[in-house]
Structure 1
Amino acid sequence: MRKIIHIDMDCYFAAVEMRDFPQYRGKPLAVGGSSDRRGVISTCNYEARAFGVRSAMASAYALKLCPNLLLVPGRMEVYKAVSQQIREIFSRYTSLIEPLSLDEAYLDVSDCSLYQGSATRIAEVIRSDIFKETGLTASAGVSPIKFVAKVASDLNKPNGQYVVSPDTLMQFVRALPLGEIPGVGKVTEEKLNVLGLKTCADVQQVPLTLLTEHFGKFGAVLYERAHGRDERAIVSHRERKSVGVETTLPKDLHTREACLDVLSSLIPELNRRLGRSASGRRIHKLVVKLKFDDFRQTTIESRAEEPSVRLFESLLSQAFVRAEGRGIRLVGIAAGLVCQSESEQESSAQLALSL
């Protein structure tokens, strides 16, 4: 059994702003784009959440919910620097660190001998170190498996932790609402409810075939999670799988031609990013993403070995049909990258065939 800790910083971007600017403390605060430029909330503090403000919400709508909301632009370089400081704290206790974003990470402390090897105590000390050295609070979940640790880290927020020990794991999982499992969004949860499935205990009573019939590959993942199984190890190094660029538009677009104009402005930036962060990596697909005025989005992709203006235009045209009269508020493009391991396997296979 592993000892997994999931650390999640509390309202991270907003917390950094309140730390650096004391005048923001105690007031509803959000970090995000301007409301008159179609901005979106990145993070908000707990005072703002009391009004219903949430991440990914349109800034204009957030201000309707909370007219006194302080809306400030993000300072990404500062957030990255503090995140690196927190990462260095993690490294004092384990080298098995899997960052999920700037403000959260998995840690495997199975082999850490500090504090008699107690994952609970290690999590407490890590949170204490973070507060002493950055002035920020973090919450933690402790469990033998990854997904439960992630769920647990959210149960005593802010500035708390929750421990699911090996002997309480199955009891915890059985009572867990399916909507709490990472990867189960609102649409999936609604479909599960229609099938009469609301908790992991419910899923434990149905065959795997029922889930795969309705949810494909994710049905198998859901089945495993509902039975308290998650064999995923900590991945301390992740290969970048794609490079992309997108833009939220100041006004909704309603014609394909207008979207194509935006697309043409994104391609040079994509090429620049590919050259900077994916030099030498092979491309295996191109992707176009559109977000509609109701905040739903769609993606279209196609196999390709290099960026192609013509293919991007074709993909966008296909995606635009799905708008069905809705305005377009965001246009994005990306290039999917071949993993180094896959590339090495392919090279080995080609060499074997040539011998």
Structure 2
Amino acid sequence: MSRAILHVDMDAFFASVEVRERPELRGRPVIVGGTPEGRGVVAAASYEARRFGVHSAMPTATALRLCPKAVVLPPRHGLYSQVSRRIHTVFERYTPQIEPLSLDEAFLDVTGSLRLFGSAAAIGRRIKGEILEELGLIASVGVAPNKFLAKLASDMNKPDGFFQFDPERIAETLDPLPVTRLWGVGPATARQLERLGIRTVGQLRHYSRRLIVRHLGRGGEHLWELAHGIDARPVVSEQETKSVSNETTFARDIHDPNSLRMWLSELSEQVAWRLRRQELAGRTITLKVRFQDFTTVTRSLSLPAVTDLTSEIRDTALRLYEERLDHPHPSVRLLGVGVSGFETPEARQQSLFHEVRARNSRVDTIVDQVRSRFGRDAVRRGGSRR
């Protein structure tokens, strides 16, 4: 049976939440991340700032040279997490099949909800409208028969976008798009395809699977399927997941090790918060790195006991980066941190009996509560980069 998949992506989420909290900033370029003095990197930028060329992962100093009048605000992840939970409450009205990708985007499988709520497009518009009415935030929504097409659709008409793939016109919609819109096509792969005369999805689609695989290896088969609108991956809900991870794809490749360490700390905090929210703890920490040539590597380390502690996840991720990657390395396109190897609640409790770990667990709980109520900067961890 054909599936009905939504991809909901909040527009400039961190910046939009800040503007909602401070309406006097509406219409002004807003940067979240770094400091007004130009240290650190951009975590998010409003669309007003993006018009000047500002993008996430850019050094704040560069962003301020491009947009000197930008308002620079520190991130408040506790606030963003709180808003994200409310967004998920809207999703849950329509389906339990929700796969969060980060605080600001998720896949929803609404196939089983069509009889109750109408078409997938109707559900998507209702979700979009309820998020705006109840939270004052704008979401872009993509509707399609699979995850790849849904994510592509949500990006079609940003900001405030809504796009539905017509199952009868998938090829017609895909064909004019640049081949770089396919997952897995970075600069190196794009150059390989260009040598074959392939610049658009339509041109790729008209090559045989065998030829593409011969030139690109196993990844070529995946690209060939995407060019034909094929993606069999299911939506995996948090209850079904065997791992919890957060990753970010940078608008521009990052080479600076200090910026990458900062992002690893941010991603580790988000993963740890999601684990505690789901009452999960895992033994294996995984670092995922995708370089500028689209080579992807993963490095994992299993701990003696399961954990949901921010400090342990962060320190292990940083250790994997420092010790398990070659240095110097190429510029990084994507960075991710994940936790897997979950155990039963009973085993988890026994593993946390150690006095130091129990104290760290209590600290995490207090930090979660304070940040959720008062914002990220209401409390800071020892050794924090901010």
Normalised TM-score (structure 2): 0.67
Q: CA deviation at 1:333?
A: 11
- 1:347 alignment partner in structure 2: none
Once residues 300 and 222 of structure 1 are traced to their aligned partners in structure 2, the CA distance between those partners, rounded to angstroms, is 19
- 5 Å-filtered alignment, 1:1-355, equals 1-34=2-35, 36=37, 38-113=39-114, 117-237=118-238, 238-240=241-243, 281-283=282-284, 305-306=302-303, 316=322, 319=325, 321-322=327-328, 337-338=340-341
Aligned-residue CA RMSD in angstroms?
A: 3.9
Report the alpha carbon displacement of residue 108 of structure 1 after superposing the two structures with TM: 1.3
Q: Give, in whole Å, the separation in 1 of the partners of 2:37 and 2:217.
A: 41
Query: % of aligned pairs identical?
Result: 37
Work out the CA distance in 2 between the residues paired with 1:81 and 1:314.
30
Offset from partner CA, 1:31-61 (integer Å, 9 cap, x none):
1122657411111111101101111111111
Larger relative contact order (Cα-Cα within 8 Å, sequence gap ≥ 6) = 2
Q: Distance in 1 between matches of 2:202 and 2:72?
A: 42
Letter in 2 for 1:170: A
Cα 1:320–1:116 shift into 2, 3 Å: closer
Cα offset for 1:279? 8.3
> Structure 1: how far apart are the matches of 2:53 and 2:81?
27
**Is the CA contact (8 Å cut-off) linking 1:288 and 1:315 kept in structure 2?**
no
SS at match of 1:111: helix
SS in structure 1 opposite 2:112? Answer: coil
Unaligned runs of 5+ in 1: 245-251, 255-261, 341-355
- CA distance in structure 1 between the partners assigned to 2:336 and 2:103 by the alignment: 23
Displacement of 1:20 after TM fit? 0.3
Of 112-121 and 164-173, deviating more is 112-121
The one-letter amino acid of 2:138's match is T
Which segment drifts farther, 116-125 or 49-58? 116-125
Moved more, 166-175 or 298-307: 298-307
Structure 2 unaligned spans of 5+: 248-255, 305-314, 344-386
SS at the partner of 1:41? Answer: coil
Given that residues 115 and 122 in structure 1 are in contact (C-alpha distance below 8 angstroms), is that contact kept between their aligned partners in structure 2? no
Closer/same/farther in 2, CA of residues 213 and 66 from structure 1, 3 Å limit: same
1:313 Cα offset (Å): 8.1
Deviates more, 1:208-217 or 1:88-97: 208-217
Residue 127 of structure 1 and its aligned partner are, at CA, apart by 0.6
The amino acid that maps onto 1:186 is: P
Retained in 1: the 8 A contact 2:114–2:120? no
Provide the C-alpha distance between the structure 2 equivalents of 1:169 and 1:243, rounded to a whole number of angstroms.
Answer: 30
CA distance in 2, matches of 1:125, 1:13: 23
